[in-house]
Amino acid sequence: MPFHGKCRQDFVTWRTTYSGIQPDQFDLDNPDHEEKLGYGRAIMFFTCKVQVSERLPVETKHLVFLEEVWRYTAPKPDYLADEYKCHRFYSTRPNPAYYVVDIDHILGPAALFRCPVNPCIPPSGLDRVACQNPSAVSESKAGDGKGSPLYRLNMWYMRWGDTKQAMQMVRRFAKKDTSVRD
């Protein structure tokens, strides 16, 4: 599809630092676990060396620099989100939220793409969002393209509708391959 190819970006899903759940323990049937997944656009993968004090050895950290996207709650019912977990997310651009996350927290790719129906938060779309994140911006008039970008999570593409396949994917990405890093 031309729209998806032209608007493709590399998004990942990761285990948030506050989740307290190990990658192989995630259960996508559990709504509490689903709420603790983070989504973001991977910008750069890098390695750095850290030495906390002179007495401690130097540690090598494998990290990813990413822009977080936040779950969008539309002012009107959203059938795809309610029935199929194809939630919408938004970036806080023009003031994006950047994070550096340990690469071990990444669970796998996320099938997020620009929402073809509403590519930006519409004029009345900040009613529920603004209290959670004041950096979000809505369009001043419908279709002007000056609001924070909206993305749709394609759960069918990720095959997370079938929980068994989803857990296989999460566990596959959770396995640590130390031969690649060293």
Provide the token pair at 107.
């669970």
pLDDT given for residue 128 in this prediction: 65
Domain ranges of the chain: 2-176
- At 162 the pLDDT is 55
> Would you say how long the chain is, in residues?
182
Query: Residues 6 or more apart from 105 whose CB is under 8 A from it?
Result: 14, 15, 16, 17
As averages over each run of 10 residues, the pLDDT of the chain (182 residues) reads 52 83 72 83 93 93 93 82 83 86 86 86 75 77 85 74 52 46 41
pTM: 0.73
